[in-house]
């Protein structure tokens, strides 16, 4: 467990007020920031550099929010696999068509569109190009979650806390949805193939899981 001093040294946490030459005093704002750092690090799996970028954006109200979100989502990598250019071009076209078909408001600089393209290109590169069949069902689900998220922020979060809340929701909400999707896979598999959930796939010949 990294110490408070480490977070201060890395610029994640402002230094406490020195109450004596060897003792710093940390107030409630510090405590709240410290919790956020630890949750992003330990549950969200963000790297220290990504957290520094996210917190810088939280503290700078002139930074566009989609850049904060991009930083918060950095843990997904974003380098992409080399693959081939044909896969990348096809994936870009697929994402553009999806956004147009759904009528989604977006903007050129939203990194999520590029992240989606890269993930689809990687799928194609692994022989799962047909996976794009599922995009509208994924989009229905994403809209459901996004409406729920926005409703929560609107209903429950004071305006001055919303940027921080968006960061928490983006990173931890993803951990929540990921765990739920895996729970729902086991259930969907049990319904499709019958139970036998304790068996290995080699025994039952059938997976519990997704694509």
Q: How many whole angstroms separate alpha carbon 149 and alpha carbon 144?
A: 9
Closest by CA position to 35, among listed 167, 141, 190, 185: 167
Judged by beta carbon, residue 14 or residue 151, the one nearer a second copy is 151
Q: Is 2 in the site for a second copy (CB under 8 A)?
A: no
Which of 42, 84, 89, 96 lies at the binding interface for a second copy (CB under 8 A)? 42
Scan residues 62-91 and list those touching a second copy (CB under 8 A).
62-66, 68-69, 73, 75-77, 79-82
Closest by CA position to 104, among listed 135, 62, 58, 64: 135
Q: Is 4 in the site for a second copy (CB under 8 A)?
A: no
Question: Is there a contact between 87 and 125 (Cβ–Cβ < 8 Å)?
Answer: yes
Judged by beta carbon, residue 19 or residue 178, the one nearer a second copy is 178
Closest by CA position to 101, among listed 145, 144, 140, 148: 140
Name the one residue in this structure whose structure tokens are 């729920």.
Answer: 148
Q: Which of these ranges, 3-11, 13-21, 48-56, 129-137, lies near a second copy under the rule CB under 8 A?
A: 129-137
Judged by beta carbon, residue 20 or residue 158, the one nearer a second copy is 158
Scan residues 165-204 and list those touching a second copy (CB under 8 A).
165-166, 168-170, 172-192, 195, 197-203
Distance of CA 149 to the CA centre of its chain: 13
Q: Is 35 in the site for a second copy (CB under 8 A)?
A: yes
Instruction: Give the count of residues interacting with a second copy (CB under 8 A).
Output: 114
Which of 6, 10, 44, 100 lies at the binding interface for a second copy (CB under 8 A)? 44
DSSP letter string, 114-172 = HHHHHHHHHHHHTT-GGGGGGHHHHHHHHHHHHHHHHHHHHHHS-GGGHHHHHHHHHHH
Judged by beta carbon, residue 17 or residue 140, the one nearer a second copy is 140
Q: Is 150 in the site for a second copy (CB under 8 A)?
A: yes
């Amino acid at each position: 467990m990294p110490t408070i001093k480490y977070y201060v040294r890395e610029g994640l946490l402002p230094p406490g007020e020195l109450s004596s030459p060897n003792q710093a005093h940390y107030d409630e704002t510090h405590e709240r920031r410290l919790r956020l750092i630890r949750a992003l690090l330990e549950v969200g799996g963000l790297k220290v550099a990504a957290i520094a970028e996210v917190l810088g954006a939280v503290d700078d109200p002139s930074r566009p929010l989609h850049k904060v979100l991009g930083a918060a989502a950095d843990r997904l990598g974003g380098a992409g696999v080399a693959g081939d250019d044909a896969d990348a071009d096809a994936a870009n076209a697929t994402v553009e068509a999806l956004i147009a078909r759904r009528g989604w408001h977006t903007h050129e600089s939203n990194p999520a569109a590029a992240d989606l393209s890269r993930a689809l290109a990687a799928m194609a590169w692994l022989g799962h190009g047909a996976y794009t069949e599922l995009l509208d069902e994924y989009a229905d689900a994403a809209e459901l979650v996004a409406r729920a998220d926005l409703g929560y922020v609107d209903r429950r979060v004071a305006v001055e806390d919303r940027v921080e809340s968006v960061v928490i929701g983006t990173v931890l909400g993803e951990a929540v949805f990921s765990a739920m999707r895996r729970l729902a896979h086991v259930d969907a598999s049990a319904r499709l193939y019958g139970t036998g959930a304790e068996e290995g796939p080699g025994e039952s010949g059938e997976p519990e899981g997704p694509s």
